[in-house]
Amino acid sequence: MNIHVFGAGYVGLSNAILLANQHDVTIHDINPNKVEKLSRKESVIIDTLLEEALLKSNLKAIVSDYSIAVNADIVLLATPTNYDPDLNTFDTSSLDSIIHSLSTNRFQNTIIIRSTVPVGYTQKNQNQYPHIKFVFMPEFLREGQAYHDNLHPSRIVVGTVHSISHQIAKMYLDLVETPCTVLQVGFDEAEAIKLFSNTFLAMRVSFFNELDSYAEVRGLNTQQIIEGVSLDPRVGNYYNNPSFGYGGYCLPKDTKQLLANYNNVPQSLISAIVEANATRKDHIANQVLKHKPKIVGVYRLTMKSNSDNFRDSAIQGIMKRIKAKGVEVVVYEPYYQEELFFNSRVIRELNEFKNMCDIIITNRMHEDLKDVVEKVYTRDITQKD
């Protein structure tokens, strides 16, 4: 089939490369620098397996052009939908614009939405554009391993009211390396699956973080407690390494969107999950400030290892809390090219950074810091993301 993908982030690009294994795929992005790199077979995200697959791929990349996409059998949308706190909902303007432009150009085939959206969004568009077949497919991809997760999905969820759902499911099943369950549901159910899945993961992160806060304040051994709790098979020994808080592309915005979707529905747990992340950052900042440092170093702005994503990483929230108390903060981040990050100096030379700091905070321990471990504050126990 002729497929056009809008958005060259980790969702759009990994999907585009996967689909290009059997189909004629063109990826669109508004950033010409991204398009230029992709045309040279250079990945615009950090993902080793994806980088290797891109080199062998026939994927075509262009600056976003609706007039070309109008002839596609399928248009897949994977543009960003950041949470807007003023509107208390996702900002779907990028999706809205593309859908409207395609409709204006008389597109009448299938649109697959893989961006995360509020519950009810796809149905609203189906009502507004009845000549288009809409499908919502939540993605469950990890940063740095998006292409692997496309090849080995935990499940494939197809949300639509159209019979094309069987064809879409088969299209993906024909490309995966590990068979998985296919769930065919309605629009709203598919959107809810995405939000509840990520909110559960955020809840799990928050639980083990609050366990760690308790142990730290009471002088207990966090690792021993977590090991004892996790030996229960109903809990499991995974996703339990304490951190500075959940962050990244999905969990912060998805939890807030789910809470907004509750509206008049009774709840208390979802609010607590959202609030727990702020509580954890407050605790971490207070623990650092107890040492009365003059200069605090932030080692890496990224949320996790093998990532270049700074968006909503918890360490930024801690950094802002420390700066609010008048303490100088400096940053070491190889992927950041500016001289200042939120008015904090960016130090390029690692040894200079280590020598000038009284305390270095890092979400995950790294070999770079082993020689100054006495300066390092982290809650990392297993050195796993």
Residues paired with 3 in a beta bridge = 25, 74
- Rounded CA-CA distance 5/19 in Å is 10
- Number of Cβ atoms within 10 Å of the Cβ of 167: 14
- Rounded CA-CA distance 362/188 in Å is 39
Residue 382 φ then ψ, to 5°? -105, -5
Which residues are CB-neighbours of 281 under 8 A, at least 6 positions away? 244, 245, 314, 317, 318, 321
Which residues are CB-neighbours of 201 under 8 A, at least 6 positions away? 239, 246, 251
Residue type, 374: E
**Annotation says 250 is catalytic:** yes
Q: DSSP of 316-384, one letter per residue?
A: HHHHHHHHHTT-EEEEE-TT--SSEETTEEBP--HHHHHHH-SEEE-SS--GGGGGGGGGEE---SSS-
Which of 158, 201, 250, 361 is the catalytic position? 250
- Residues catalogued as catalytic: 250
